[in-house]
Amino acid sequence: MTRAGFVAIIGAPNAGKSTLTNRLVGAKVSIVTQKVQTTRFPVRGVAIEGESQIVLVDTPGIFAPRRRLDRAMIRSAWGGAEEADAVVHLIDVQAELAVGVAEGSPADKRAVIDVQTIIEGLKISGRKAILALNKIDGVKRERLLALSQRLFDTGVYSEVFMISAADGSGVDDLKRRMAELVPEGPWLYPAEQTADLPARLLAAEITREKLYLRVHEELPYAAAVDTTAFEERRDGSVRIEQTIYVQRDSQRPIVLGKNGQTLKWIGQKSREELTELFDRQVHLFLHVKVDETWADKREFYGDVGLDFDV
């Protein structure tokens, strides 16, 4: 008897949701960078465990919203959780434990606030979630157990797993539990499919990842990548045109770099990965455009599956 269903992974920004999704699937389906809040919309990765097909909804991080894009991303995250057969709440243990310690950073404090926001949201929804404590590397067992007990006592969790999404520790146990929780029924995707992200959107996400990998210290989050053309060519290759949007004139030279070297690097790395993913030659052309209002345009939200009117 086969099983198939959806499991939503929710958590604060930078908790490791994309890393966990990629680890469970065994392939790259969600971008991973140093930047928090990288995932802007649910990315469905397809994982197989025995006779179970687990469709993973890697949601945007849940945090206190400040702008329209933030509100749309949070609504998308909770929407993914509401529609899933099971929910996993992933928590960055090291950020949670760092608060109150001298070296605790403002980012750590924000992460703890975000965790409390999610706990309150789970209470309101009435849904029980699996608690997955991530980044356990180097943390003493007694501290892990104390944190686990404190969080479990909130009453919103059904069980607890301690994992490291980066090196895979404990992930197989979590995956087996997910496989048990999805309902009986036929598989939703072909066995070889690892994601249901459209090729145009995947191409934009890969380029956005390379953008943040290269300029993560200089460029704020106010950047987007849009695939403006995706042409299948007769020789079997694909021609892709993309526009990188930034919000200020001062950000354009950061993306271009001296003599265009930064943009060239971004294009080369993105092209290499897309060629491997699509298993064919990719001709990639990048342009950089200043548009201070891109985050307030309705068409951008529809393209990535977000609700403009939330």
Per-residue confidence in pLDDT tens, the chain, 310 aa: 899 998 988 888 778 888 898 899 987 776 665 554 444 456 678 899 999 999 888 665 544 444 444 445 445 544 555 678 898 999 999 888 876 444 555 555 555 667 888 888 888 878 899 999 999 998 999 999 999 999 999 999 999 999 999 999 999 999 999 999 999 999 988 888 887 767 777 888 889 888 888 886 666 556 788 888 889 899 999 999 999 988 888 888 989 999 999 999 999 999 998 898 788 899 999 999 988 765 555 555 445 444 434 4
Q: Find out whether 140 and 34 touch, Cβ atoms under 8 Å.
A: no
> Which two three-digit tokens encode residue 2?
């086969």
Give the pLDDT of residue 239.
94
The domain locations on the chain are 3-181, 199-303
Distance CA 195, CA 174 (A): 20
CA-based nearest residue to 13, from 44, 34, 27, 43: 34
Four-way CATH pick for 3-181: 3.10.180.10, 3.40.30.10, 1.10.10.1100, 3.40.50.300: 3.40.50.300
Query: What does the DSSP assignment read for 231-297?
Result: EE-TTS-EEEEEEEEESSGGGHHHHH-GGGHHHHHHHHHHHHHHHHHHTS-EEEEEEEEE-TTGGG-
Q: Find out whether 84 and 129 touch, Cβ atoms under 8 Å.
A: no
Q: What pTM value is reported for the model? A: 0.67
Q: Find out whether 111 and 203 touch, Cβ atoms under 8 Å.
A: no
Query: What is 199-303's CATH number?
Result: 3.30.300.20
At residue 70, the 3 state secondary structure works out as helix
Q: Find out whether 274 and 203 touch, Cβ atoms under 8 Å.
A: yes
Give the pLDDT of residue 213.
82
